[in-house]
Homo-oligomer: A and B are copies of this chain.
Amino acid sequence: MATSLAEENYLKIIYRLCEGTKEDISTNSIAELTNNKAASVTDMLQKLAEKGWVTYQKYQGVRLTKIGESIALSIIRKHRLWEVFLVEKLGYNWDEVHEIAEQLEHIESETLINKLDSFLDFPKIDPHGDPIPSQEGEIPELGYLHLSEVKLNETCTLMGVAKDSAVFLQLLTKLNLSLGARLEVLEFNTFDRSVSLKIAEEKPIFISHEVAKNILVKV
């Protein structure tokens, strides 16, 4: 069945919200991410349920069905592959690609995305460290930790970010925090939970808890 742009955006956002939790998700949480009013969300949820892409009980929240999830994953696959293209081939920075990929992810073609995948040499992650779902909708669970959760004095590698707003990514760039960086947490400050850390063998820098929480690392 064909999907409209609006439907695709809803499915993607519902996927993101479902990811973390086993609970059904709320109308308001969707409204917040889509920048729509709750009433509009209710409307769309009824349509999506009608099409069999979500299970929805009024007042009780919503979840993706298997089909809904596979649609969401195909859009995420497209989003991330296009982001790789924009960075690897066109020379964009990682903080500049999200808005463009938001548009490109809706291009509809049976063949396009697989040819793009092949052209890019089958990347496994996007410029933000996020895994790229396979054609079959498989997405590896990478099991990264938030930098705010690692043990002291243990070296870890920056593998991704939990947020892709441009200002956040620009801040990381300015701090010299990029994918692959070797990090060691020296101290968690108990007052404001700010973090003192070393990048490679450089002299220590400070980052806020807010930043540390959105950095994903592998130990």
The digit string for A104-123, where 1 denotes a CB below 8 A from any CB of B, is 10011101100110010000
* Identical subunits present: 2
A100 contacts B115, C-beta separation under 8 Å: no
A contact residues, range: 10 to 19
| CB closest chain-B residue, reference A106 | B103
A90 contacts B107, C-beta separation under 8 Å: no
A107 contacts B103, C-beta separation under 8 Å: yes
| CB closest chain-B residue, reference A96 | B111
Interface flag for A89 (CB, 8 Å): yes
Q: B residues within 8 A CB of A100?
A: 107, 109, 112
A90 contacts B104, C-beta separation under 8 Å: no
| CB closest chain-B residue, reference A115 | B90
A115 contacts B103, C-beta separation under 8 Å: no
Cα–Cα distance between A90 and B91 once the two chains are bound (Å): 18
Q: B residues within 8 A CB of A108?
A: 103
Cβ contacts A to B, 19 pairs, < 8 Å: A86-B112, A89-B119, A90-B112, A90-B115, A90-B116, A90-B119, A91-B115, A92-B111, A92-B115, A96-B111, A99-B109, A100-B107, A100-B109, A100-B112, A103-B107, A103-B108, A103-B109, A104-B104, A104-B107
Binding site for B on A (CB under 8 A): 86, 89-92, 96, 99-100, 103-104, 107-109, 111-112, 115-116, 119
Nearest first, the 10 A-B pairs at minimum CB distance are A90-B115, A103-B107, A100-B109, A90-B119, A100-B112, A89-B119, A104-B107, A91-B115, A90-B116, A103-B108
